[in-house]
């Protein structure tokens, strides 16, 4: 195969590639062997430490309830943040300068501060100023933190989605006599939502990852937190970390694959305008000046 | 009104955040560039390694990585990172985790930059007899870097915000101090505002300056 950077290898290049492959394999194998040895030295490979994971108890008591909480917080955050983000995204495109300014400030502010700060703050705020029970408080705080941050990020996604539509759509809508609100609600938004779907699904990965913050810092009983309880019970720190990491990887990999499958499918479908928004396109928008407002580039894709 | 700040080293905590960010940024830029080079290299095995690394690391929460570096690497494997001082060790473990995590995103940014360099450039480089390494080092990467300053700025800003996760292993940076202060003092709102303002000050100029620089330096085609 040939790409931009190198030709289809000839005999010499082939030999060199084989040499590199061998050297790389040896280095990688040494590294893996060293890691294996190290784990063996510290008795992390003993079957007793791994056994809980093939029995149902570790799953039903610790991991699955934790995973359920992770998914619950992520789903709640998504469902609340999306309409909020849509409102702010549309407001940033408003014709009125003060609406643009206010929503722009709000969006840039919440994108600029770390989710962890928002969660810590929300947790303390709920403890002092509301009567949310202490059992529910971590969930509330995690969801609040996630919603504030991700609504801001999704606002940018919505804005990018609407801006990615051909200008002719708006012009045609005005030409047949639709008002501004009607143009937005019946012409632009439905198409933008289709275009945004892949970016929204990708954002879910970020949300799922961020729930883990709540587990460590404010005691929300999500997957990473239940790993701690599990490890305390079976004394299997390293194995439990590996298993939890694998669960996260599989879950997020499924979401990522779904997002790119959706992107491909939407690009092919004849009914859309052809505007489809992956995460990278939203990032481009963040870095560039669009529609008279300035994106600070406080990127939300990680 | 700001009496609650007495007795707390807010600036010191933010200085630690800045140090964490700076050291991790340099580290992840180096490791990320290496990963990107692997991902486009002619050796299939290196490409495979790069792809697997990026896809695995991107999908693990940073919190899991940082916590593992403390509970797994340090406690179980006895990795001291060249220091027995708890604070120094925590800082270095946090840097290690942040580099491992952020490099995956740096790699993807640089790879997308490599894709913006026109095919003809590489073909011309090869035609005058440059090898893969020379093509990458002299022709492709300099142009790729200039076109990805914007995305890299996004990664840097995300990194700045991600340093707060180091609070999970007891590194006394801004988020950690905020947690302490917010629990001990009555002015929840004000403390929250002070720390939020700190992060806005850190991230907003970075985005604006690097965004401007990116537009200025981008290779116009």
For B59, the token pair is: 């999908």
**8 Å CB contact between A283 and B136:** no
- Tell me the chain A residues in contact with residue B189 when contact means C-beta distances shorter than 8 Å: 125
Cα separation, B60 vs A248, in Å, equals 6
Residue B152, pLDDT above cutoff 80: yes
The reported pLDDT for the residue numbered B166 is: 93
CA distance B162 to B203: 12
CB distance B60–A114 less than 8 Å? Answer: no
Contact B16/A at CB under 8 A: no
pLDDT > 90 fraction of chain B, expressed in percent and rounded = 48
- The confidence band for B59, taking pLDDT boundaries of 50, 70 and 90, is very high
Would you call A220 exposed, middle or buried from its count of C-beta atoms within 10 A (0-12, 13-18, 19+)? buried
Q: What is the pLDDT of residues A193-222, one digit of tens each?
A: 888 899 999 899 999 999 999 988 898 999
Instruction: Give chain B's mean pLDDT.
Output: 89
Q: Classify the C-alpha dihedral B46-B51-B57-B58 as positive or negative.
A: positive
> Rounded to 5, what percent of chain A is helix, strand, coil?
75, 0, 20
Instruction: List A residues 178-207 in contact with B (Cβ-Cβ < 8 A).
Output: 205
Q: Which of B49, B150, B168 is the closest to A217 by Cβ?
A: B168
Contact check, Cβ <8 Å, B61/A284: no
Residue of A nearest to B72 (CA): A238
Q: For chain B, what percentages of helix, strand and coil (3-state, to nearest 5) are there?
A: 80, 0, 20
Residue B166, chain A, CB below 8 Å: the answer is no
Q: What are the tens digits of pLDDT across the range A134-184?
A: 888 999 999 999 999 999 999 999 999 999 888 898 999 999 999 998 999
Residue B160, judged by CB atoms within 10 A of its CB (0-12, 13-18, 19+), counts as buried
Q: What percent of chain A has pLDDT over 90?
A: 50
Q: Determine contact: B79 vs chain A, CB below 8 A.
A: no
Q: Quick one: what percent of chain A has pLDDT higher than 70?
A: 89
Instruction: Give mean pLDDT, residues A294-298.
Output: 38
3-state secondary structure of A294: strand
B164/A280 touch (CB, cutoff 8 Å), yes or no: no
Please name the residues in contact with A97: beta carbons below 8 A apart, sequence gap of 6 or more. Answer: none
Total-model pTM: 0.89
Residue B147 phi, psi (nearest 5): -85, -10
Eight-state DSSP code of residue A9: P
pLDDT for the residue A115: 94
Mean pLDDT of B207-215: 86
Instruction: Determine the distance from the C-alpha atom of residue B174 to the mean position of all C-alpha atoms in its chain, rounded to a whole number.
Output: 17
Per DSSP, the residues of B11-44 read: HHHHHHHHHHHHHHHHHHHHHHHHHHHHHTSS-H
Q: Is the pLDDT score of A86 beyond 90?
A: yes
Element spanning A167, H or E: helix A167-175
Distance from CA of B50 to the nearest CA of A (A): 12
Chain B residues within an 8 Å CB radius of A298: 154, 157, 161, 203-204, 207
pLDDT in tens, A92-117: 999 999 999 999 999 999 999 999 99
The answer to whether B188 contacts A124, with C-beta atoms less than 8 Å apart, is yes
Is some CB atom of chain B closer than 8 A to the CB atom of A293? no
Give bridge partners of residue A293 from the DSSP assignment.
A290
Give the 3-state secondary structure of residue A162: helix
Instruction: Select from A42, A212, A213 the Cβ nearest to the Cβ of B76.
Output: A42
CB pairs under 8 A between A and B: 204
Amino acid B15: pLDDT: 94
Whether the CB of B145 is below 8 Å from some CB of chain A: the reply is no
Distance CA(A151)–CA(A156), nearest Å, equals 9
Contact yes or no for A237 and B55 at CB 8 A = no
The DSSP line for A92-127 is: TT-SSHHHHHHHHHHHHHHHHS-HHHHHHHHHHHHH
Residues of B in contact with A124 (CB under 8 A): 182-183, 188
A20 in contact with B, Cβ within 8 Å? yes
| CA distance to partner chain A, nearest, from residue B158 (Å) | 6
- Could A237 and B71 be called an inter-chain contact, meaning their C-beta atoms sit closer than 8 Å? yes
**Residue B130 at interface with chain A, using a CB cutoff of 8 Å:** no
pLDDT at A287: 41
| Cβ within 8 Å of residue A159, ≥6 positions away | A89, A90, A92, A93, A285, A290, A291
Chain B contact for A40, CB < 8 A?
no
In 3D, which of B146, B135, B173 has the Cα closest to residue B24?
A: B173
State residue B159's pLDDT score: 95
8 Å CB contact of B153 and A248:
no
The rounded Cα B129 to chain-centroid distance in angstroms is 36
DSSP string, B114-169: HHHS-HHHHHHHHHTT--HHHIIIIIIHHHHHHHTHHHHHHHHHHHHHHGGGGGGG
- Put simply, whether B99 touches A (Cβ < 8 Å) is no
pLDDT confidence tier of residue B3, bands split at 50, 70 and 90: confident
ipTM: 0.89
Q: Which residues contact A249 (CB under 8 A, 6 or more apart)?
A: B56, B59, B60
What is the three-class DSSP state of B6?
Answer: coil
Q: Given CB atoms, is A296 within the 8 Å cutoff of chain B?
A: yes
How much is the pLDDT for A3? 63
């Amino acid at each position: 195969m040939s790409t931009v950077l190198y030709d289809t290898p000839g005999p010499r290049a082939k030999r060199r590639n084989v040499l590199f492959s061998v050297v790389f394999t040896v280095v990688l194998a040494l590294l893996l062997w060293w890691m294996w040895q190290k784990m063996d030295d510290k008795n992390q490979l003993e079957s007793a430490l791994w056994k809980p994971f093939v029995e149902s108890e570790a799953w039903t008591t610790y991991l699955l309830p934790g995973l359920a909480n992770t998914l619950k917080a992520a789903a709640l955050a998504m469902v609340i943040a999306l309409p909020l983000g849509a409102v702010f995204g549309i407001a940033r495109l408003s014709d009125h300068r003060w609406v643009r300014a206010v929503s722009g400030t709000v969006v840039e502010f919440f994108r600029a501060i770390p989710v962890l700060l928002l969660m810590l703050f929300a947790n303390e705020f709920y403890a002092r100023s509301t009567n949310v029970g202490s059992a529910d408080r971590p969930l509330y705080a995690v969801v609040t933190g996630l919603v504030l941050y991700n609504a801001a990020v999704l606002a940018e996604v919505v804005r990018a989605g609407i801006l990615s539509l051909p200008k002719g759509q708006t012009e045609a809508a005005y030409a047949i006599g639709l008002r501004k609100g009607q143009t937005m609600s019946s012409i632009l938004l439905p198409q933008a939502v289709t275009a945004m779907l892949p970016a929204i699904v990708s954002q879910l990965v970020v949300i799922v990852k961020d729930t883990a913050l709540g587990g460590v810092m404010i005691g929300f009983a999500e997957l990473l937190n239940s790993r701690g309880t599990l490890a305390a019970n079976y004394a299997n720190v390293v194995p439990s970390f590996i298993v939890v990491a694998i669960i996260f990887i599989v879950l997020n990999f499924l979401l990522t694959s779904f997002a790119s499958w959706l992107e491909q499918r939407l690009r092919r479908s004849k009914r859309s305008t052809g505007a489809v928004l992956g995460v990278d396109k939203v990032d481009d928008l963040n870095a560039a000046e669009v529609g008279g407002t300035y994106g600070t580039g406080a990127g939300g894709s990680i | 009104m700001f009496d609650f700040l007495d007795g707390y080293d807010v600036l010191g905590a933010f200085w630690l955040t800045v140090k964490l960010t700076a050291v991790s940024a340099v580290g992840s830029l180096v490791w990320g560039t290496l990963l990107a080079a692997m991902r486009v290299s002619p050796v299939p095995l290196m490409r495979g390694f790069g792809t697997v690394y990026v896809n695995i690391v991107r999908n693990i929460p940073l919190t899991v990585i940082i916590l593992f570096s403390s509970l797994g690497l340090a406690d179980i494997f006895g990795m001291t990172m060249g220091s027995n001082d708890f604070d120094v060790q925590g800082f270095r473990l946090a840097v290690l985790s942040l580099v491992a995590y952020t490099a995956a995103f740096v790699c993807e940014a640089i790879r997308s930059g490599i894709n913006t360099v026109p095919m003809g450039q590489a073909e011309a480089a090869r035609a005058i007899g440059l090898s893969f390494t020379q093509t990458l080092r002299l022709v492709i990467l300099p142009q790729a870097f200039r076109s990805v300053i914007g995305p890299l700025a996004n990664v840097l800003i995300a990194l700045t915000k991600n340093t707060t996760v180091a609070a999970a292993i007891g590194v006394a940076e801004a988020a950690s101090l905020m947690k302490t202060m917010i629990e001990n003092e009555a002015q929840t709102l004000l403390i929250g505002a002070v720390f939020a303002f700190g992060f806005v000050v850190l991230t907003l100029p970075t985005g604006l300056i690097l965004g401007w620089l990116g537009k200025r330096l981008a290779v116009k085609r």
